[in-house]
Amino acid sequence: MRPKPNAITELPLSPDDERRTRMIRYSIAMGIRLVCLILAVVIPDWWRIIPIVGAIVLPYIAVVVANNVRRAPRAAVARPGALLRRTPDRDAA
């Protein structure tokens, strides 16, 4: 029984698309950090601690999320056209 070939929908994202999604996630996190920095200046009293902590922690989280590359589960790759691996003939020598 031959294994079922992989469908096109099971292929991982192209490297360019995958990099683009990671850059978008990083940019969103840095945008939230910018909002935290602005709120730290605007908010009075001890409430300012919350956006300050957010502005300190968000860069680390953004880098970890941006560097998280999705790895597709590796499936067994079927040989095209039922090709068999050939070993050299020992009798030919």
Q: Would you say 30 and 58 are in contact if contact means Cβ atoms under 8 Å apart? A: yes
Alpha helices in 1-93 (DSSP H): 15-42, 49-66
State the pLDDT confidence band at 6, using cuts at 50, 70 and 90: low
Tens digit of each residue's pLDDT (9 = 90 or more) over 58-84: 999 989 888 887 665 555 555 565 566
Would you say residue 54 lies in a domain?
yes
| CA pair distance 75, 88, nearest whole angstrom | 28
| CA pair distance 23, 15, nearest whole angstrom | 12
> What total of structural domains would you count in the chain?
1
Would you say residue 64 lies in a domain?
yes
Tokens of 32: 């939230």
The domain containing residue 47 runs over which residues? Answer: 14-68
Would you say residue 34 lies in a domain?
yes
Would you say residue 93 lies in a domain?
no
Tens digit of each residue's pLDDT (9 = 90 or more) over 41-57: 999 899 999 999 999 99
Tokens of 59: 């860069």
